[in-house]
Copies of this chain bind each other. A is one copy, B any other.
Amino acid sequence: MELEFLGTGAGVPSKGRNVSSTALKMLDERNEVWLFDVGEATQHQILKTAIKPRKITKIFITHLHGDHIFGLPGLLSSRSNQGGNSPLEIYGPVGIKLFVETSLKVTGSRLSYPIKYIEMKNGGEIFNDKTFIVYAGELKHRVTCFGYRVVEKPRTGELLVDDLQKYNIPNGPIFGQLKAGKTVTLEDGTVLNGKDFIGPDKPSKVVTIISDTRYTPEIDKLSQDADVIVHESTFSNDEKKLAYNYFHSTATQAAEVAKRSHAKGLILTHISARYTGRGALILQREAQRIFKNTKVASDFDLFEVPFK
């Protein structure tokens, strides 16, 4: 899994940072890309990356401010023009469907794929399949806003083929049965329990996305033991009153979350235009004093999960 930052600015686009969008690339795990927020010109940013719009299968909208959604109609249209035909799911607060459907209707767009809208009033488990679970949790912004916790399910270890060698097991279904953890009786009467021949679970990953919000205890729940927390950090601690009044967070608050929740890494995004160029490193240094493994994201930064 990798995180690719498509827009790391706050509010309005600037020369240095586009408005919000973060891609969670799960090419090895699912051959999919999930997007968190789609600010205007996200499709333009994607043009400069290796991401293929048709690989985007889920879009999670944190809240309905323009800098988080105005790129959605254009991206959906381009995904259609570029041959995307697999279904797409859009998760977000109530209202996201009206915005997208009105945009498509007014422009007479007929997309080449179906969209399923999952409009949420509260948080909770919003997605669950064989390999992943996603939870949403309500944050504290001026409008309804959700944070997301993406959890990879435990992945069973490999079959310990070396340990089985001495039993001279013929090629065939027995390996599959053992791998599935079943008990098998060999021709010579030996009884083998598959569970004894499976290595330790492979590490599964947790990614937490905390967008526009004041601090609220829900953030800690979403962040618990995460491999990486992507946390908004519109302001520095010097502006903590401003952050509070505008329902935003500081770098210090983000770092405190990461520390308390025993996260492995913290990435700061949604940076106010007042921190131009290397000015944003003020935020990184401020957070690192509390939580060492912190980076401030720039547009097009690509991070492995977990990152070091």
> Which residues on A are within 8 Å of B, measured CB to CB?
11-15, 18, 40-41, 43-44, 47-48, 64-66, 69-71, 73-74, 77-78, 81-82, 95-96, 98-99, 102-103, 106-109, 142-143
Contact = CB atoms under 8 A, between A and B. Distances in A.
A74 B65 contact: no
Copies in the complex: 2
Nearest to A40: B74
Contacts of A69: 106-107
B47 A14 contact: yes
B103 A66 contact: yes
A145 to B, nearest CB: 12
A44 B41 contact: yes
Contacts of A96: 106
B70 A103 contact: yes
26 contacts: A12-B81, A15-B47, A15-B48, A40-B41, A40-B43, A40-B44, A41-B41, A64-B108, A65-B107, A66-B73, A66-B74, A66-B77, A66-B109, A69-B106, A70-B70, A70-B74, A70-B77, A70-B103, A70-B107, A95-B106, A96-B106, A98-B106, A102-B103, A103-B103, A108-B142, A108-B143
A47 B11 contact: no
Given A13-B47, A40-B40, 17 more contacts: A11-B81, A12-B82, A13-B43, A13-B74, A15-B48, A40-B41, A44-B44, A64-B108, A65-B108, A66-B74, A70-B73, A95-B106, A98-B102, A99-B102, A99-B106, A99-B107, A108-B143
